[in-house]
Amino acid sequence: MTTTFPRSTPSALGIDARGLARFLDALESTPDVEPHSIVLLRHGQMAAQGWWQPYAEDRVHLLYSLSKSFTAAAVGIAVREGLIDLDATALSYFPELDAEITDERSRRIRVRHLLAMASGHREDTIDRARELDRMNVVRGFLLLPPEEEPGTLFTYNQPCTYTLAAIVRRVSGGSLVDYLRPRLLDPLGIDDLAWRRDEAGAELGFSGCYAPTSAIAALGQLYLQRGVWEGERILDEDWVAAATSKQIDNLDEENPDWSQGYGFQFWMARHGFRGDGAYGQFCVVLPEQHVVLALTGQSLDMQAVLDAAWQHLLPAVDATDLDAAADADLEARLASLGLPPVQGGRLPDLGAGPFRGDGIDRIGFTRDGDRWRAALEVDGGTLSVPVGEGEWAVDGPLAASGALAPDGTVLVDVRFVETPHLAHVRIDLAAGTATASWATEPLHDGPLTLRRPAD
């Protein structure tokens, strides 16, 4: 079963398609913003959806910290089942650590503090926790005394969410995905969701979730519906109310939509609330407008994405001058979205390689029908992908496009299409060298693992 929403049109749902088109214009033209997908719901119906090729509807996308909102849903379900108590201490779920954790503040960290990123630490502790115990990050985290009293200070702290995931695993006796499958994923029709695991075999919780854009939209719709899905209550209403309202101030955050307060693994915003992840993974919920906006991308300027939504999309909802004729134009545009391939001249003969260089062990090319196929050797493994000219050629989790630059070098872009990431490769044919660099740096994977993890 796949998540589906009743199809409608923007105008039938009270949304001016021209405003949505202006939102797309902004996403495509703003520096440091690159959209990969959009799903827009109103009243639980599909107002618009689209994927910028080579990204596609049936693909998962690495959500980075938007993963936290799925972890929080697991906690909320476990609270409803009586397996987790928000006012219990984190330590109480790991009694084997009781003798070691002697700091009183560490011992007073409660589940609700973890949910609100309010453990009392002044900075993210993930690196220090791993240094203390790479195979038991919860232990490493609890061994780090908070500088302030838990519940008094907001700090975006990855081990808070890691510990929440570990608590769910501890009380359920299985993996996070196994727990979510019958309780959240199957009811919402999310048939493909996978989670990156660490060296100890534990889901990261704070990141590493791979899911399609429709899953993001479904999670947002569940919260918009106050925890009820098709007549079945999945999350308690008081959980939803707490999760989506300010539990702690975060006024020191620089950007305006990151300084409106924090709930339970959700950010409060100037409008509504949201979950988000690095490089532009968004689940934006606007209760007043009955709207859910799901986005994926490779965007360094995430505030610009929200600014564009407030400037163009929000005024389009319940606009007084709806233009139903614009629906068809928008639908055609959404069906033809695409990221520009590499621009330049036709590729020359590349069979003289392999080419060695910086950021990559080497890259070689062979003919693959009417295309060249690149074999990139990096980190002790090989990535193989056809290279499109004037288009993206897609093979599994990779897509590539190449062209000849005016200076005679060959440019090849490789997209890891189950993630936000893109690698640029430049080949100097005369020198026989190649250089590779990231457009955006992966946060916890290398090129060989930038794909949906195996179940």
Question: What is the rounded average pLDDT of the residues 242-254?
Answer: 95
Looking at residue 1, its pLDDT comes to: 45
Lowest-confidence range among 112-121, 143-152, 354-363? Answer: 354-363
pLDDT digits (tens, 9 = 90+) for 40-57: 999 999 999 999 999 999
Looking at residue 246, its pLDDT comes to: 98
- Report whether pLDDT(324) > 60: yes
Q: How confident is the model at residue 4 (pLDDT cuts 50, 70, 90)?
A: confident
Looking at residue 352, its pLDDT comes to: 82
Question: What is the rounded average pLDDT of the residues 389-405?
Answer: 98
- Report whether pLDDT(82) > 90: yes
Question: What is the rounded average pLDDT of the residues 332-353?
Answer: 95
Looking at residue 3, its pLDDT comes to: 64
Looking at residue 103, its pLDDT comes to: 98
Looking at residue 253, its pLDDT comes to: 87
Is 401:413 a contact under the CB 8 Å cutoff? yes
pLDDT digits (tens, 9 = 90+) for 406-427: 999 999 999 999 999 999 999 9
- Report whether pLDDT(2) > 60: no
Residue 70 CA to residue 86 CA, distance in Å, equals 17
Domain regions of the chain by residue span: 355-438
pLDDT digits (tens, 9 = 90+) for 267-321: 999 999 999 999 999 999 999 999 999 999 999 999 999 999 999 999 999 998 8
- Report whether pLDDT(101) > 80: yes
- Report whether pLDDT(84) > 50: yes
Q: What percent of the chain has pLDDT over 70?
A: 99
Q: Is the pTM of this model over 0.95?
A: yes
Looking at residue 303, its pLDDT comes to: 98
- Report whether pLDDT(174) > 50: yes
Question: What is the rounded average pLDDT of the residues 208-217?
Answer: 98
Q: How far apart are the first and last CA of the chain?
A: 18
